[in-house]
């Protein structure tokens, strides 16, 4: 019965191929004519829609407002903040012609929108009474990447970028961490993926940021995926863009800023955290279909179909449900919804009907149980909670198994997972680990202190523990 | 008290300037560094968000699924359908460089996405079982317009574009009209704007369509605004893109297609249908703030503030409410929320409190009434319904007043409004009316028959009544 619908490579055989097989065969994407630009198909886009809905609500609860900035940025505007342009110039797409005419100044398709937000802030912020401005936009951005993989790295991708201005550095710093915690909560409670939070090292910081904070997740293959970031900008951008306001003491001052973002990469995180050799396993809260109802042998049994519809209607009132009464075989349907990662399958056939019951199958652990039709809705609701807990636990176990705390360089050899080392935080040692072992510094975790420990690379005094891993 | 906050030009003095004043002063947009590209500020974007939410739900109810197509289209792909490329090529923005390298093929920033949908459909549609596909995307598009006005005509604008493929022309035609009716309903019931529905003449059709249907609205100045369109493509695109399927008789056949769209132009329609000399007047269903609560003389009266909060909380449970207890004067606040078009204002001061009542003011007709606090919520709910009816009626009266049925060319002279004439439907007469009077053919309305009437221009037999108007 397994792999009945469509073969996918097993993850043990080739993890990368397993990943792209799922992305295509679960009908999340289709490749387009433009290198690195994919089409998000209904099922893939519905996952993103569910993600955006939940996050958008969380953002709005802390006072964030949505706006829309233009797609195009004049070259001169992009050049205003030095580190920022150096970080992005090599990877932008340039519009040089409008209609049949050459433009006097070329325009880049936004790779990110800091400069647009900053020039807007400079126009609308005058007094402390105008602050803070807590803005966000949902959009797509373009980065001219040489290599691409769906959701992980692509020329165009969807994301949200939040940009805020504040009257004090303390307020901005607090907000940076507030948003990091919203992401963290979202990953742990909604996506059932445990996270490691921390600060990026100097060399891994965002171009133009004073501090970058990150949400790091471990994938099933032991690699890290940077899943969301939140940046404290200080007043660097504010100075470059002349965003000044009259403060409460009636003095002119530059604002303090933050930015924070999460992209469709999060779908890659879901696939590689929870997926298995039969396809996707979706966290219930973002699954486009939470429960699929499959009537069995209903062609000559109208009662089965009627009862299925009844079940569908009652479940459909509170959950995203689908009933599949197409003419495919039950086996084909089972595999199909397994591939699509639907959390719960309800099967109902003539024999179940006789006992006024049905069969419920969980996607996450494949457990199967009989359930009386009268108890179905509460049983399913409770089961969804259990599924979430179990998905989180399975991920956590995988991460624990593949995480070591180490003080020896030799541990990097042939290791797949997270290594936490007491680190000197010098660029040289970071570069060495990256070049020799392909391990990059993921983050400096919060609240851990190092005393009397030495960096395993250079032997100098270490300042902090730092997580290293191979990363996507 | 009027124009207390910010002066706007009166619409009688200069309708165009009145419009742009409102757009800026109600904080809907800010101009960006790129000609023709505007920033949608929180208040403007919130209107668009409310519009998208309501429409998206209506689309999903008829089975439409959201997808996301790439932003960039290779030149060769755009050229596949001849009429289509001729229609769009002069007005597209071309990406010619990625990073520092010149591209081997230039890419246009999508002006619309027919060709992307078509090439995708060709890859995923094989059998009648795969049909129909009812897709939509919410995105922004770019058209290199020479002149621009916020929401009306801009280089970049937000919209939704629906694209569907069907197994028969009947089904596709039905779907074209189904979507037209969804738009029509949305304008009349949600935006409180009466519409005229009909078919576009040959010369006003969309590039590549067999039939274009339109939603035409009259603005307060008597001009027409084409507010949404729905196109029947026949199998023209399908042939150009080789979208073939095996039909129910096991024969290979080309699909039939539709497309339909509505853009942020709809915000222009709202402004120019309902606005007045004090600013916006927003239809309740899409107003970001439906009720604003303004406590009066609350600085030394904690009870007023407490009661205001109580009211805010109870109204906030069922409506989008805001309480303004900033230190601005009540007069400033009244003008501010008038400018922003908030449908209902609730004032509560110490004297109201003594009587356990408050004052409710309607934005649409400025009526003011006392209301007991216990009756407040149901009174407001009922009032919102009345506001909607009144807003619709006022628009309808304006349109009726400015619409004539005519058989004489002389009526075009100095006329501002809609003229319905029995028309020959020749290109020559259409061109003549456009050049001489700036009147364009808006649509051929449904269900009206012309018998024994002659075209007032050429005197030839007329085939249909056609609406003409000056248009945005």
Dump pLDDT digits (tens) for A345-362.
Answer: 999 999 999 999 999 999
A149: DSSP letter? B
For B45, nearest residue in chain A (alpha carbons) = A67
CA distance B430 to A257: 56
Burial of B302 (0-12, 13-18, 19+ CB in 10 A): exposed
Strand partners, B419: B404, B468
Among the listed ranges A76-80, A209-213, A245-249, which one has the minimum average pLDDT value?
A: A76-80
A420's tokens: 């936490």
Nearest to A166, CA basis, from A96, A227, A234, A93: A234
Q: How confident is the model at residue B2 (pLDDT cuts 50, 70, 90)?
A: very low
CB contact under 8 A, B32 and A94: no
CA distance A405 to A419: 6
Cβ distance B105 to B76 under 8 Å?
A: yes
Chain A and chain B share a number of CB contacts under 8 A equal to 154
Give, in order, the Cα–Cα distances in Å from A179 to each of A53, A61, A153, A395: 16, 11, 23, 23
Chain A residues with beta carbon closer than 8 angstroms to that of B113 = none
A147's tokens: 């290599």
CA distance B244 to B122: 7
CA distance B101 to A345: 51
CB contact under 8 A, A38 and B93: no
Q: Does B86 reach chain A within 8 Å, measured CB to CB?
A: no
Cβ distance B341 to B284 under 8 Å?
A: no
Model pLDDT, residue B88: 82
CB contact under 8 A, B116 and A90: no
Residue appearing with tokens 């359930």: A371
What values do phi and psi take at A45, rounded to 5? -70, -35
Cβ distance A374 to A314 under 8 Å?
A: no
Model pLDDT, residue A5: 56
What values do phi and psi take at A98, rounded to 5? -120, 120
The partner residue sitting opposite A71, judged by closest CB among B99, B116, B142, is B142
Q: Please tell me whether residue A97 adopts helix, strand or coil conformation.
A: strand
Cβ distance B467 to B204 under 8 Å?
A: no
Q: Which of residues 30-69 of A touch B (CB under 8 A)?
A: 30, 32-34, 37-42, 45-46, 48-49, 65-69
Dump pLDDT digits (tens) for B196-240.
Answer: 999 999 999 998 899 999 999 999 999 999 999 999 999 999 999
Cα-based angle B3, B7, B10 (whole degrees, multiple of 5):
90
Cβ distance B410 to B431 under 8 Å?
A: no
Q: What is the pTM of this model?
A: 0.96
Beta-carbon count within 10 A of B374 CB: 10
What values do phi and psi take at B440, rounded to 5? -110, 155
B335's tokens: 């003008």
Which ranges constitute the DSSP H helices of B14-70?
15-25, 42-61
Among the listed ranges B4-18, B258-272, B420-434, which one has the minimum average pLDDT value?
A: B4-18
CB contact under 8 A, A116 and B66: no
* DSSP per-residue string spanning B278-292: TB----GGG-S-SEE
Model pLDDT, residue A172: 98
The partner residue sitting opposite B92, judged by closest CB among A70, A73, A99, is A99
Strand partners, B212: B231
- Flag whether pLDDT at A2 surpasses 80: no
Cβ distance A319 to A284 under 8 Å?
A: no
* DSSP per-residue string spanning B138-198: EEEEE---SS-BTTTB-SEEEEEEEEEEESSHHHHHHHHHHHHHHHHHIIIIIS----EEE
The partner residue sitting opposite B33, judged by closest CB among A49, A119, A144, is A119
- Flag whether pLDDT at A129 surpasses 60: yes
Q: Does A248 reach chain B within 8 Å, measured CB to CB?
A: no
Q: Which of residues 288-317 of A touch B (CB under 8 A)?
A: none
DSSP β-ladder status, A357-362 and A368-372: antiparallel
Q: Does B99 reach chain A within 8 Å, measured CB to CB?
A: yes
CA distance A218 to A67: 33
CB contact under 8 A, A70 and B30: no
Instruction: State the Rg of chain A over Cα.
Output: 25
Chain A residues with beta carbon closer than 8 angstroms to that of B33 = 73-74, 77, 116, 119
Model pLDDT, residue B6: 65
B373's tokens: 């606090």
Q: Does B243 reach chain A within 8 Å, measured CB to CB?
A: no
Q: Does B433 reach chain A within 8 Å, measured CB to CB?
A: no
DSSP β-ladder status, B156-166 and A156-166: unpaired
The partner residue sitting opposite A37, judged by closest CB among B42, B49, B70, is B70
The partner residue sitting opposite B95, judged by closest CB among A32, A94, A120, is A94
Best A34, A136, A150 member to test B by mutation, with max B CBs in 10 Å, is A34
Q: Minimal Cα–Cα distance from A458 to chain B, Å?
A: 37
Beta-carbon count within 10 A of B441 CB: 23
Residue appearing with tokens 């997270």: A418
- Flag whether pLDDT at A94 surpasses 80: yes
The partner residue sitting opposite A30, judged by closest CB among B123, B155, B158, is B123
Mean pLDDT of B62-67: 98
CB contact under 8 A, A37 and B100: no
Chain A residues with beta carbon closer than 8 angstroms to that of B73 = 33-34
Q: Please tell me whether residue B26 adopts helix, strand or coil conformation.
A: coil
CA distance A92 to A179: 27
- Flag whether pLDDT at A21 surpasses 90: yes
Give, in order, the Cα–Cα distances in Å from B414 to each of B11, B313, B429, B437, B472: 19, 53, 18, 8, 17
CA distance A186 to A201: 24
Q: Which of residues 142-171 of B touch A (CB under 8 A)?
A: 142, 144, 155-156, 158
Chain A residues with beta carbon closer than 8 angstroms to that of B72 = 34, 37, 93, 142, 155-156
Chain A residues with beta carbon closer than 8 angstroms to that of B139 = 140
Give, in order, the Cα–Cα distances in Å from A316 to each of A43, A51, A326, B227: 18, 20, 18, 35
Strand ranges in B75-132 using DSSP code E only, listed in sequence order: 93-98, 101-109
For A95, nearest residue in chain B (alpha carbons) = B95
Cβ distance A74 to B33 under 8 Å?
A: yes
Q: How confident is the model at residue A87 (pLDDT cuts 50, 70, 90)?
A: confident
Report the helix count and the strand count for chain A, using DSSP H and E: 13, 23
Sign of dihedral through CA atoms B191, B197, B202, B205?
A: positive
Give, in order, the Cα–Cα distances in Å from A432 to each of A435, A465, B140: 5, 17, 44
Nearest to B73, CA basis, from A150, A156, A146, A88: A156
Q: How confident is the model at residue A3 (pLDDT cuts 50, 70, 90)?
A: very low
Q: Does B320 reach chain A within 8 Å, measured CB to CB?
A: no
Chain B residues with beta carbon closer than 8 angstroms to that of A34 = 70, 72-74, 107
Dump pLDDT digits (tens) for A203-229.
Answer: 999 988 999 999 999 999 999 999 999
Model pLDDT, residue A452: 87
Q: Please tell me whether residue A78 adopts helix, strand or coil conformation.
A: helix
CA distance A126 to A360: 60
CA distance A66 to A64: 7
Chain B residues with beta carbon closer than 8 angstroms to that of A32 = 69-70, 116, 119-120
* DSSP per-residue string spanning A283-332: -GGG-S-SEEEEESS-TT-HHHHHHHHHHHHHHHTTS-EEE--SSS-HHH
DSSP β-ladder status, A156-166 and A133-142: antiparallel
Mean pLDDT of B120-148: 96
DSSP β-ladder status, B291-295 and B321-323: parallel
A210: DSSP letter? S
Non-local (6+) Cβ contacts of A38 within 8 A are A29, A30, A31, A32, A150, A154, A156, B70
Give, in order, the Cα–Cα distances in Å from B165 to each of A39, B179, B182, B238, B248: 17, 14, 18, 9, 16
CB contact under 8 A, B46 and A65: yes
The partner residue sitting opposite B74, judged by closest CB among A34, A45, A46, is A34
CB contact under 8 A, B32 and A120: yes
Mean pLDDT of A126-138: 97
Q: How confident is the model at residue A107 (pLDDT cuts 50, 70, 90)?
A: very high
Q: Which of residues 391-420 of B touch A (CB under 8 A)?
A: none
Sign of dihedral through CA atoms B89, B91, B92, B94?
A: positive
Q: Minimal Cα–Cα distance from A349 to chain B, Å?
A: 25
Q: Minimal Cα–Cα distance from A71 to chain B, Å?
A: 8
Nearest to A412, CA basis, from A393, A432, A427, A388: A432
Dump pLDDT digits (tens) for A286-317.
Answer: 999 999 999 999 988 999 999 999 999 999 99
Task: Provide the ipTM.
Answer: 0.95
Burial of A391 (0-12, 13-18, 19+ CB in 10 A): buried
Q: Does B127 reach chain A within 8 Å, measured CB to CB?
A: no
All structural domains of chain A, each given as residue ranges with its CATH number in brackets, are 15-274 (3.30.930.10), 289-385 (3.40.50.800), 403-469 (3.30.110.30)
Residue appearing with tokens 């899409």: B286
Dump pLDDT digits (tens) for A146-197.
Answer: 889 999 999 999 999 999 999 999 999 999 999 999 999 999 999 999 999 9
Chain A residues with beta carbon closer than 8 angstroms to that of B158 = 68
């Amino acid at each position: 019965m397994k792999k009945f619908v469509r073969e996918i490579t097993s993850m043990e055989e080739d993890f990368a191929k397993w990943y792209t097989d799922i992305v295509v065969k679960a009908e999340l994407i289709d490749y387009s004519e433009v290198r690195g630009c994919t089409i998000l198909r209904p099922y893939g886009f519905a996952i993103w829609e569910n993600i955006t809905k939940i996050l958008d609500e969380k953002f709005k609860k802390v006072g964030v407002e949505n706006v829309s900035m233009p797609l195009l940025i004049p070259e001169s505007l992009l050049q205003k903040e030095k580190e920022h342009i150096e970080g992005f110039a090599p990877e932008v797409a340039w519009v040089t012609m409008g209609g049949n005419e050459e433009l006097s100044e070329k325009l880049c398709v936004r790779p990110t929108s800091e400069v647009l937000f900053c020039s807007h802030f400079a126009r609308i912020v005058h007094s402390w009474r105008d602050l803070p401005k807590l803005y966000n936009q949902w959009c797509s951005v373009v980065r001219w990447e040489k290599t691409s993989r769906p959701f992980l790295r692509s020329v165009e991708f969807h994301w949200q970028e939040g940009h805020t201005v504040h009257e004090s550095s303390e307020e901005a710093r607090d907000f940076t961490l507030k948003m990091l915690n919203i992401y963290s909560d979202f990953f742990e409670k909604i996506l059932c993926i445990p996270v490691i939070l921390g600060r990026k090292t100097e060399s891994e910081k965002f171009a133009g940021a004073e501090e970058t904070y990150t949400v790091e997740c471990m994938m099933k293959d032991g690699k890290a995926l940077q899943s969301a970031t939140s940046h404290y900008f200080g007043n660097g951008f504010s100075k470059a863009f002349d965003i000044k306001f009259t403060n409460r003491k009636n003095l002119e001052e530059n604002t303090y800023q933050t930015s924070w973002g999460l992209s469709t990469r999060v779908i890659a995180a879901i696939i590689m955290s929870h997926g298995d050799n039969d396809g996707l396993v979706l966290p219930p809260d973002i699954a486009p279909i939470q429960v699929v109802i499959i009537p069995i042998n209903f062609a000559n049994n109208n009662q089965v179909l009627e009862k299925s519809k009844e079940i569908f209607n009652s479940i459909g009132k509170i959950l995203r449900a689908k009933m599949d009464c197409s003419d495919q075989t039950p086996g084909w349907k089972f595999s199909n919804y397994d591939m699509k990662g639907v959390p719960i399958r309800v099967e109902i056939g003539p024999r179940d009907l006789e006992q006024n019951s049905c069969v419920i199958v969980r996607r996450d652990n494949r457990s199967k149980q009989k359930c009386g039709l009268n108890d179905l809705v509460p049983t399913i609701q409770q089961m969804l909670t259990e599924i979430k807990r179990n998905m989180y636990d399975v991920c956590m176990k995988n991460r624990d198994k593949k995480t070591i705390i180490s003080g020896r360089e030799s541990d990097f050899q042939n290791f797949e997972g997270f290594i936490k080392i007491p680190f000197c935080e010098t660029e040289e040692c970071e570069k060495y680990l990256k070049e020799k072992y392909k391990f990059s510094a993921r983050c400096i975790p919060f609240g851990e202190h190092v005393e009397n420990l030495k960096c395993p690379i250079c032997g100098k005094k270490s300042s902090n523990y730092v997580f290293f891993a191979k990363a996507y």
